[in-house]
């Protein structure tokens, strides 16, 4: 009986691989190349042990611990421990995002678009489609583990040995497999792809926040988070393998639960019931903007709460920074104070850059929802009424701009509220708002790229995420890796002044705003004349 439920799984695996013959290699190459470039940059970055230990001291402060995880091997901060400490967590998050997107694409998304129903009309087992997805995504993560491991070892760096490299790769793969199982489970609980992605990203965000709080204040709390398990491997230092087995064991349990739920539910339904809507739509809902908001209301609320908590988690550690810096002679020499500004204010500039880029994720998602609606054929009924194309695209763009501002503001408020409660001499709200909101033009550039790609060629919307990922890499790692300035200048975030240490260059900000407007106009013109998918 159960064997029949997996009929023709092998053929569906080949079909899934064929559909993702470009997407999967791009993911694998991007993550592997990013890892190699980072490891190569660390090699020779510091001339001697004294310089390496100086940077190790900066990693001991609570804010950096919350951001990248608790440091291991800081007493002998060679290239291997440095690589694992500064890059493993963020790379694992990227791998988790890859797995969430791939699983959702081949489960709930295919179910919504009717592909699963079409496949099931053939001699295919009930669990064949979801099992083929599970096999392909797990195999993708295994390949990624091997690529990363052997690529790191092949660099020939003394502290990056084979055992540590295999563990580094395994940590990434195990993270991807865990979130593969999590997404598979939520694909059964939710009745649509939006809910599946939302719930999966919520688990990822909560895992990061729990790990951040645990690493700073309560180490036991970190072990509640799967990201805490991965960091518990202490790669290139103690090389513990048991957290990998814990992660894989949990993944198997979650995946089996997901398969069982899939076998017992009706096609197109979810175990979390969909709340019935009102019998008559309100005037607000009848507008394109109102409809766009209603379709994403749950996600907007969830992201808003998440951004506030994110800001608060970073703000809660600012109270310890002044004491930490003042009691460390090495750091005092390494980071000479800027006249008129505290060391905390100087350090806050990096936090603002990271927070602003994280706050760019939700507005891009809100905007690109329009592409998903088009793929499902939902735009034609709207455009068949007295709704212009420019008004439809403008509604989604306006939604992205409004809530991009709100997300960034909430994160800043969360940072200020937490910092105000823990700092003896807190930074004023006005100063924090000024330091954070100055990043809005960079956020608008990303919105403009999204509008331009939707208007000209929707298949290129991934370019928006590529620019954001590149920005995160060069802004976050640019200073530590001593990357050339021109690399940062290729990102809109690289042109934003670091308030309060730097003065605002209004001409630069005006140019960024003009570029964002130009990109949006290109998108509007393209959307007017291109064919709409039906």
Lowest mean pLDDT among 14-23, 278-287, 320-329, 485-494: 320-329
Report the pLDDT value the prediction gives residue 24, as an integer from 0 to 100. Answer: 92
Report the pLDDT value the prediction gives residue 69, as an integer from 0 to 100. Answer: 80
Assess whether pLDDT exceeds 60 at residue 257.
Answer: yes
- % of the chain with per-residue pLDDT over 90: 29
Q: How far apart are CA 285 and CA 368, in angstroms?
A: 19
| Contact in structure between 189 and 199 (CB atoms under 8 Å) | yes
Cβ-proximal residues to 465 (8 Å cutoff; 6+ apart), any chain: 364
What's the rounded mean pLDDT across residues 312-324?
Answer: 67
Q: Mean pLDDT highest for which of 15-24, 170-179, 347-356?
A: 170-179
Report the pLDDT value the prediction gives residue 270, as an integer from 0 to 100. Answer: 77
The closest alpha carbon to 396, from 381, 418, 374, 415, belongs to 374
3-state SS, residue 447: helix
Report the pLDDT value the prediction gives residue 479, as an integer from 0 to 100. Answer: 63
Confidence grade of residue 373 (pLDDT, cut at 50, 70, 90): confident
Lowest mean pLDDT among 217-221, 232-236, 335-339: 335-339
Is 220 exposed, middle or buried, given 0-12, 13-18 or 19+ CB atoms closer than 10 A? exposed
533 or 335: which leads in pLDDT: 533
Confidence grade of residue 178 (pLDDT, cut at 50, 70, 90): very high
Q: How far apart are CA 422 and CA 427, in angstroms?
A: 11
Assess whether pLDDT exceeds 60 at residue 324.
Answer: no
Confidence grade of residue 268 (pLDDT, cut at 50, 70, 90): confident
What's the rounded mean pLDDT across residues 25-48?
Answer: 81
Report the pLDDT value the prediction gives residue 510, as an integer from 0 to 100. Answer: 93
Assess whether pLDDT exceeds 80 at residue 62.
Answer: no
Assess whether pLDDT exceeds 90 at residue 384.
Answer: no
Q: For the CA atoms of the chain, what is the radius of gyration?
A: 24
Confidence grade of residue 245 (pLDDT, cut at 50, 70, 90): very high
What's the rounded mean pLDDT across residues 54-81?
Answer: 77
Confidence grade of residue 311 (pLDDT, cut at 50, 70, 90): confident
| Per-residue pLDDT tens over the stretch 190-231 | 888 878 888 898 899 889 888 888 888 777 888 889 999 999
Report the pLDDT value the prediction gives residue 511, as an integer from 0 to 100. Answer: 93
| Per-residue pLDDT tens over the stretch 438-457 | 999 999 999 999 999 999 98
Report the pLDDT value the prediction gives residue 443, as an integer from 0 to 100. Answer: 94
Q: Mean pLDDT highest for which of 64-78, 96-110, 421-435?
A: 96-110
Report the pLDDT value the prediction gives residue 481, as an integer from 0 to 100. Answer: 64
Report the pLDDT value the prediction gives residue 397, as an integer from 0 to 100. Answer: 94
Cβ-proximal residues to 467 (8 Å cutoff; 6+ apart), any chain: 446, 449, 491, 492
Report the pLDDT value the prediction gives residue 342, as an integer from 0 to 100. Answer: 64
Q: What is the greatest pairwise CA distance in the chain?
A: 76
- % of the chain with per-residue pLDDT over 70: 90
pTM of the model: 0.80
What residue ranges do the domains of the chain occupy? Answer: 1-270
Could you please report the per-residue DSSP string of 53-97? HHHHHHTTSHHHHHHH---SSGGG--HHHHHHHHHHHHHHHHHHH
The closest alpha carbon to 229, from 237, 238, 218, 240, belongs to 240
Report the pLDDT value the prediction gives residue 449, as an integer from 0 to 100. Answer: 94
Structure tokens at 415: 């940072």
pLDDT averaged over every residue in the chain: 84
Q: How far apart are CA 466 and CA 22, in angstroms?
A: 15
Report the pLDDT value the prediction gives residue 183, as an integer from 0 to 100. Answer: 94
| Contact in structure between 494 and 512 (CB atoms under 8 Å) | no
């Amino acid at each position: 009986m159960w064997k029949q439920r997996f009929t023709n799984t092998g053929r569906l695996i080949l079909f899934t691989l064929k559909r993702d013959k470009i997407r999967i290699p791009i993911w694998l190459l991007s993550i592997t190349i990013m890892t190699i470039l980072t490891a190569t940059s660390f090699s020779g970055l510091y001339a001697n042990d004294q310089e390496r230990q100086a940077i190790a001291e900066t990693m001991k402060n609570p804010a950096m611990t919350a951001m990248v995880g608790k440091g291991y091997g800081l007493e002998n901060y060679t290239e291997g421990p440095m690589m694992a400490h500064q890059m493993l967590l963020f790379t694992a998050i990227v791998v988790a995002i890859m797995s969430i997107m791939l699983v959702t694409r081949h489960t709930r998304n295919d179910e919504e678009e009717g592909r699963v129903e079409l496949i099931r009309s053939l001699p295919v087992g009930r669990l064949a489609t979801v099992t083929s997805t599970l096999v392909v995504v797990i195999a993708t993560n295994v390949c990624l583990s091997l690529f990363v491991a052997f690529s790191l070892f092949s660099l020939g760096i003394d502290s990056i040995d084979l055992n540590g490299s295999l563990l580094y790769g395994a940590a990434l793969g195990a993270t991807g497999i865990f979130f593969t199982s999590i997404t598979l489970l939520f694909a059964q609980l939710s009745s649509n792809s939006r809910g599946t992605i939302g719930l999966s990203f919520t688990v990822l965000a909560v895992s990061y926040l729990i790990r951040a709080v645990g690493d700073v204040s309560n180490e036991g709390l970190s072990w509640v988070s799967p990201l805490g398990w991965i960091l518990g491997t202490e790669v290139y230092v103690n090389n513990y393998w048991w957290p990998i087995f814990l992660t894989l064991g949990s993944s198997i349990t979650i995946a089996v639960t997901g398969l069982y739920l899939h076998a017992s539910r009706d096609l197109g339904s979810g175990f979390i019931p969909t709340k019935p809507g009102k019998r008559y739509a309100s005037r607000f809902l009848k507008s394109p903007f109102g409809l766009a908001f209603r379709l994403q209301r749950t996600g907007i609320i969830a992201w808003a709460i998440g951004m506030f908590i994110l800001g608060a988690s970073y703000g809660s550690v600012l109270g310890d920074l002044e004491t930490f810096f003042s009691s460390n002679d090495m750091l005092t020499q390494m980071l000479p104070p800027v006249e008129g500004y505290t060391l905390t204010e100087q350090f806050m500039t990096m936090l603002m850059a990271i927070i602003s880029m994280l706050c760019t994720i939700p507005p891009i998602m809100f905007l690109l929802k329009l592409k998903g609606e088009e793929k499902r054929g939902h735009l034609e009924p709207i455009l068949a009424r007295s709704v212009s194309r420019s008004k439809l695209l403008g509604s989604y763009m306006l939604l992205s701009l409004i809530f991009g501002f709100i997300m960034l503001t909430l994160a800043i408020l969360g940072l200020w509220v937490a910092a105000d409660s823990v700092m003896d001499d807190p930074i004023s709200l006005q100063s924090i708002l000024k330091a954070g909101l100055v990043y809005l033009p960079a956020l608008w550039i990303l919105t403009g790229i999204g509008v331009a790609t939707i208007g000209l060629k929707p298949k290129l919307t991934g370019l928006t995420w590529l620019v954001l990922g590149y920005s995160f890499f060069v802004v976050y790692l640019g200073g530590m890796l001593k990357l050339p300035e021109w690399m940062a200048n290729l990102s809109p975030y690289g042109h934003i002044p670091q308030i309060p240490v730097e003065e605002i260059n209004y001409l630069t900000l005006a140019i960024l705003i003009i570029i964002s407007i130009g990109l949006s106009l290109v998108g509007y013109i393209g959307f007017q004349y291109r064919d709409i998918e039906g």
